[in-house]
Amino acid sequence: MGMKLDLSKLMDEEAKHIWQIIQRDFDMRKKEDDRLGQLKSQIKKEDVKRELLGEQTSLTNSYCIRCLQPFRFLVNSKCQCQDCGLYTCKACSRYHKKERGWVCDLCRLSRVVNMGTLDWYHEHVRSRSSALAVPRTVTVVTCAPAWAGLSHICSFVKFATSLPEG
């Protein structure tokens, strides 16, 4: 992120080519950020609508929460979203073979945004780091003789035991 490139040892054509690639990457990242921003605003708008309509049980059981089309047996049957638990019609949701269930378009968009912004990754790292921060004792059990070159384990134990309490 804060790296500096030293292009002084490159010929002009090589430096120009690298600069074009970097510029193209920057433009693509900007477009992706804009796209994700639009999806986020779309999700926020739909969330407000879903909050208002989701409280009315008679409405959510009889009408699609997204398009407000009435559910009819065989013609427009309802599907329950695996993520939010609300009912949508088949036109407003997609079936996932892996998960063996339906996910509404809004939750699908939320998944896309989550993946695009790497929120899933940051949440995973956050949960792992908090889980790793709880234990303060390190136990190393070795079955190999001391001469087997286990200096990397010794280094890890030194590092782990030198971590500040907290």
Residue of 125 and 107 predicted with greater confidence? 107
**Interval 123-160: pLDDT, tens:** 767 777 665 554 444 444 444 444 344 444 444 444 44
Cα 35 from Cα 13, distance rounded (Å): 33
Question: How open is the CA angle 61-100-48, to the nearest 5 degrees?
Answer: 40
Superfamily of domain 12-133: Zinc/RING finger domain, C3HC4 (zinc finger) (3.30.40.10)
Residue of 53 and 93 predicted with greater confidence? 93
Q: Report domain extents, the chain.
A: 12-133
Instruction: Count CB atoms within 10 A of the CB of residue 104.
Output: 27
Residue 27 · residue 33 · CB < 8 Å: no
Residue 158 C-alpha from the chain's centroid: 34
Model pLDDT, residue 133: 53
Q: What is the pTM of this model?
A: 0.52
Name the one residue in this structure whose structure tokens are 């890890």. 156
Model pLDDT, residue 19: 85
Burial of 65 (0-12, 13-18, 19+ CB in 10 A): buried
Q: What is the CA radius of gyration of the chain?
A: 26
The pLDDT-based confidence of 103 (bands split at 50, 70, 90) is very high
